[in-house]
Amino acid sequence: MSILVTGTAGFIGSHVAQRLLARGDQVIGLDNLNDYYDVSLKQARLARLMDVPGYTHITADLADRAAIEQVFAAHKPQRVVHLAAQAGVRYAAQNPHVYVQSNVVGFLHVLEGCRHHDVEHLVYASTSSVYGANTAMPFSEHASTEHPLTLYAASKKANEMMAHSYAHLYGIPCTGLRFFTVYGPWGRPDMAPILFARAISEGKPIRVFNHGRHKRSFTYVDDIVEGVVRTLDRVPGQDPAWSGAHPDPATSGVAPYRLYNIGHEQPIELLHFIELLEQNLGRKAQMELLPLQAGDVPDTEADVSDLVAATGYRPQVSVEEGVARFVRWYREYYGT
């Protein structure tokens, strides 16, 4: 199968591309290799893909309409896994235009490519951040998400609404995936696991917001990949067993559209995550305990019952095992 994967120099995208190649798919990888964080890490991720049979790489920006049109016209992917986006919740506050160009305008270009080239199924990344001010736990796909607290979350909520409109108007099968606190090897250096691991290793203090009392559904990257691949293989409207459908009031039917959480069902406190890092690094953390940041939510907890019903899969890797694997990679890659 020919699959376009956007964001293949990124954390999750590189893992998904590897998995698809390993099972024999042809992967067209797309990334703009921007300098939001260390480009050498992105290049190292790509290096693991470049010589694998079946992989073709394209360096292009999602916001470049002509370039994305050319990708679809030249390669005619059967399915699309859209993972590229401008990352970093905090970064959005200082650079809102970058977020809208990448996460909204860029997503429109992907949708248009799918529309005009008969793509069988679009799977795209959303985020647990869309739950925003919700306090009812666990977070369910059937709860309201009308109150995002950050521009990043708002851009992803916009993606969900755009995808539904294209599913309804043009019959494009679309599946959105709300990821919960992904961590693991090859993660972004601006994310807490690497920030904390580096500071602990160097004996420097780490900033811990909400005094470490956050609870998060920390989800190991391999579990995310498994969820992506399983949903990719189940095209809305073609699989009689599929669930998670959203009623379409305009037709009194169902648009070929699904939305799933992918997250570990057992959230843990951030302080426990730090304890696991300490145990695996063999050093104690120095912590600067701070109040809750604007835009942060105290807790997240994933309800994955729809994912289980549709695919038979729920995340498997315990946080203890996941942190151990992450630290082994961290030490090997960074030489600490």
Q: Which helix (H) or strand (E) holds 27?
A: strand 26-31
265, 328 contact by CB (below 8 A): no
Q: Where are the beta strands (DSSP E) in 184-270?
A: 205-208, 215-216, 219-220, 245-248, 253-262, 268-269
Catalytic residues: 152
Q: How far apart are CA 136 and CA 153, in angstroms?
A: 18
**H helices present in the chain, as ranges:** 11-22, 39-50, 65-75, 91-94, 96-99, 106-116, 151-170, 192-202, 221-232, 270-281, 305-311, 319-334
CA–chain centroid gap for 274, Å, is 22
Unique residue bearing structure tokens 């996941």? 322
